[in-house]
Structures are given as structure tokens and as C-alpha cells.
Amino acid sequence: NAGVTQTPKFRVLKTGQSMTLLCAQDMNHEYMYWYRQDPGMGLRLIHYSVGEGTTAKGEVPDGYNVSRLKKQNFLLGLESAAPSQTSVYFCASSYGWGQTAFFGQGTRLTVV
């Protein structure tokens, strides 16, 4: 029972490089979320999805893109990484509104 799995766990990027973070869930959840966690800022919502093929912007979407081509996967892309995107990224999923969200283990990204 894997739950929510994020790939990779750690990554160091140079400014301007691109990368994709993968989130996979095996619970048949409709909703998926991407958050970033920064000291003193808590969890801030980047993008979310309420079903396969749909995405929506959260609080801090600039510099990120997402795709939900398959129900079980939610990809977060950084087209041109900046040092301000150094953070810990968390993916989460839930059945729907008001339901418990299950989290991945996090991805620690450093942009130098």
C-alpha cells in the first residue's frame, strides 16, 4: 500500500534549469495538490486538480506548471528554476471536498 509517492526525494538545480516532480497515488483519489513548505510560511498551495485532465491555480502558481493526464499522476514542472523556488515540495491527494488529504514524503529542492 504505497499511498502517495513523490519522485525525486532530493534535487539540486542550477538557476535556469528545468525539472519535473512526479506525484503518484494509488488510492483512486480525484483531488490532488502541490504545496511548497517554507520556514515561517507554512504550506502554500501551488496548483491543484479536481480530476483527470483538470488543473487550477493555487496561492503561488507563478513559475510552475502542472499536468494531470492520468488520474493517478500529478506532475509539477519548473521551466526555469530560480533560487526563490528552493523549498520542500509536498504532494497530497484526497477523495474530494472535505475529505482527509494524504501526503507524500516531500521533495527537497535546492536551486543554486
Partner 1 sequence: AQRVTQPEKLLSVFKGAPVELKCNYSYSGSPELFWYVQYSRQRLQLLLRHISRESIKGFTADLNKGETSFHLKKPFAQEEDSAMYYCALSPAAGNKLTFGGGTRVLVKP
Closest contact distance (angstroms) between CB of 17 and partner 1 is 27
Q: Which is nearer to partner 1, 76 or 81 (CB)?
A: 76
Contact 3, 25 (CB under 8 A): yes
Contacts of 60 (CB under 8 A, 6+ apart): 36, 44, 45, 46
* Alpha-carbon span 47 to 86, nearest angstrom: 17
Closest contact distance (angstroms) between CB of 25 and partner 1 is 13
**Contact positions vs partner 1 (CB under 8 A):** 31, 33, 35, 40-45, 48, 50, 56, 58-59, 90, 92, 94, 97-98, 100-101, 103-106
Q: Which is nearer to partner 1, 41 or 82 (CB)?
A: 41
Q: Which is nearer to partner 1, 84 or 105 (CB)?
A: 105
Q: Which is nearer to partner 1, 17 or 43 (CB)?
A: 43
Closest contact distance (angstroms) between CB of 30 and partner 1 is 9
Contacts of 46 (CB under 8 A, 6+ apart): 34, 35, 36, 58, 59, 60, 61, 64, 66, 76, 89
